Amino acid sequence: MAKYLAALDQGTTSSRAVLFTEDGQVVSSYNREFPQHYPKPGWVEHDPKDILDSQIVSLREAVRLADINPADIAAIGITNQRETTFLWDRKTGECCGNAIVWQCRRTAGIVDDLVRAGHGDMIRRKTGLVPDAYFSGTKLKWMLDYYNLREKAEKGDLCFGTADSFLCWNLLEDRPHVTDATNAGRTMLFNLREQDWDEDLLELLDIPRACLPRVVDTAGMIGMLDPAILGCRIPVTAMAGDQHASLFGQACLKTGDVKNTYGTGCFMLMNTGEIPVESQNGLLTTMAWRIGGKPTYALEGSVFMGGATIQWLRDELKIISTAAESEALALSVNGTGGVYLVPAFTGLGAPWWDMYSRGTLIGMTRGTGRPHIVRAALEAIAYQSADLMEAMVKDAGHRPGRLQVDGGASANAFLMQFQADICGIPVVRPKVLETTALGAALLAGLGAGVFATPGETTRAWKQDLEFTPRMDEATRLLEMNGWHRAVERSLGFAKA
Ligand code: ADP
């Protein structure tokens, strides 16, 4: 009997492979970083060869570290950085230039033109996304234009894909050209309700359908791992964008369940069930996953400066030497003394959406010191997340019973307690913080029939700590109000 589930986690700065037991315990993991390319200001690229090589090395190393027979891996799930765009020749596999990374702003002008021409509402309605260069659609358009490849694409001689597609095509027998619904939902080409590529959007961006991958379920048989990789064939039975995998790995399977990942930025997703909720508060509508042909939807919001705010304290202000040190410093005072830090270094996202907002430190007095500023920075991560939560509550019409957390900065107990206090709901942290990889592995288990139903996978989720709200309601409202007054002062500052 095969005993292990494997996750390939193809991230923005590194590729990772994690082996789990079927009950969700980590057996081994291996991480390989790869170079980032910045050919021009605002441009970000990855070399597809680096992505492939780092992913293969990680898988082989994870298996070596676990000291297992690869034939004992029951199934593999792929999870990935979303939106990053690859284009390659269907016959030779040769890539048309580097992959354009989600962060890359080179297509901002294309998006501005679409919005100016009045297509914004249609894009929002069909895809659930706010028109932005972040998503794959305009990146693919740019590649087809720049390399003059439209005719070749029309003939079906080219493949477009995000990292999930690219890995499948290169690592699986028979080279399937597929993507899953969560990844498709981030292209700005996919109709969320119809669960198919949208003709109007393809026409708008002049993208031939023949270069698009077949959209498959998030969990289900995709193909077999090429035996050249590990010496045996292994079923690949799941694919999901990283935030969607993490929602699944957090066992957020019920309508209203919410998770927040505290990494460089923060990503909050709420499961909204069978209904794609249209946000009135600047959130994105996205897939949670598609299983057995049945779509489950989610609302998504992100904080640009999450853990990165703490990196800023460390690397630019140099008032802490490690991120972990921020916790003790914050706890060395019993409040910020009225100080608020709005880390709008690159503008503010949902629910504010102000690209001209800038970092603001306000409320200082002669008594303000280093611990107050460090504390204000940690609190800012929680306030921004609380704003996302409020937007979700307004859109979805109900308040979740708890917030499930993960990511590097969720290790900070002060931050987690303050998050519980300021949201007024318990914050729950699981034992396995690698919820993205866990989610991919569990989805793979589901796709391979190791689990009969999604519900069975939740056994793998185990609680570490629960942070119970301790702040009284009056204080909570007062603190939130102070934060919002600070945010107002940061808005529009770079416009002058
Ligand atoms: P990513 O996946 O985006 O690279 P991680 O999940 O690895 O991010 O988390 C790293 C981020 O978490 C960094 O921005 C770092 O500043 C922050 N971080 C890590 N540990 C702590 C801590 N104890 N307190 C506050 N922030 C932390």
Does the Cβ of 407 fall within 6 Å of ligand 1?
A: yes
Shortest CA distance to 77 belongs to which of 4, 185, 155?
4
Q: List strand residue ranges (DSSP E) for 171-319, in order.
A: 178-180, 190-191, 196-197, 214-216, 219-224, 235-241, 258-262, 266-273, 284-291, 294-303
Question: Residue 345 falls within a domain, yes or no?
Answer: no
Question: What is the spatial distance between Cα 416 and Cα 405, in angstroms, rounded to a whole number?
Answer: 8
Indicate the pTM of the whole model: 0.93
- DSSP 8-state class, residue 188: T
Task: Check if the beta carbon of residue 127 is closer than 8 Å to that of residue 189.
Answer: yes
Residue 304 lies in a domain: no
Answer yes or no: is 213 within a domain: yes
Tell me the β-bridge partners of 223.
236
The pLDDT value given to residue 1? 58
3-state secondary structure of 100: strand
Q: Is residue 133 part of a domain?
A: yes
Structure tokens at 259: 């998770």
Residue nearest to atom 26 of ligand 1 (CA): 409
Residue 199 maps to a domain: yes
Reading the chain (496 residues) residue by residue, the pLDDT tens digits are: 568 999 999 998 889 999 999 999 999 999 999 998 889 888 889 999 999 999 999 999 999 999 999 999 999 999 999 999 999 999 999 999 999 998 888 888 898 899 999 999 999 999 999 888 889 999 999 999 999 999 999 999 999 999 999 999 999 999 999 999 999 999 999 999 999 999 999 999 999 999 999 999 999 999 999 999 999 999 999 999 999 999 999 999 999 999 999 988 899 999 999 989 999 999 999 999 999 999 999 999 999 889 999 999 999 999 999 999 999 999 999 999 999 999 998 888 888 888 788 899 999 999 999 999 999 999 999 999 999 999 999 999 989 999 999 998 999 999 999 999 999 999 999 998 889 999 999 999 999 999 999 999 999 999 999 999 999 999 999 999 999 999 999 998 987 6
Amino acid letter for position 454: P
Q: Count of alpha carbons within 13 Å of 256, Cβ hemisphere only? A: 6
CA 48 – CA 58 distance, rounded (Å): 15
Domain boundaries, position 163: 4-242
φ/ψ of residue 349, rounded to 5:
-90, -150
Number of Cβ within 10 Å of residue 63's Cβ equals 24
pLDDT for position 2 = 62
User: What CATH number did the domain enclosing 24 receive?
Assistant: 3.30.420.40
Q: Which atom of ligand 1 is nearest to the CA of 407?
A: 6
- On whether residue 144 sits in a domain, the answer given is yes
**Total count of residues recorded for the chain:** 496
Residue 294 lies in a domain: no
Looking at residue 12, what is its pLDDT? Answer: 87
187 within 8 A of 137, measured Cβ to Cβ: yes
Give the span between the Cα atoms of 115 and 128, in whole angstroms: 15
* Dist. CA 281 → ligand 1 center (Å): 27
Residue 410 belongs to a domain: no
Q: What is the pLDDT of residue 60?
A: 97
Report the number of distinct structural domains present in the chain: 1
Please give the number of the atom of ligand 1 that sits closest to the Cα of 13: 4
Residue 331 · residue 386 · CB < 8 Å = no
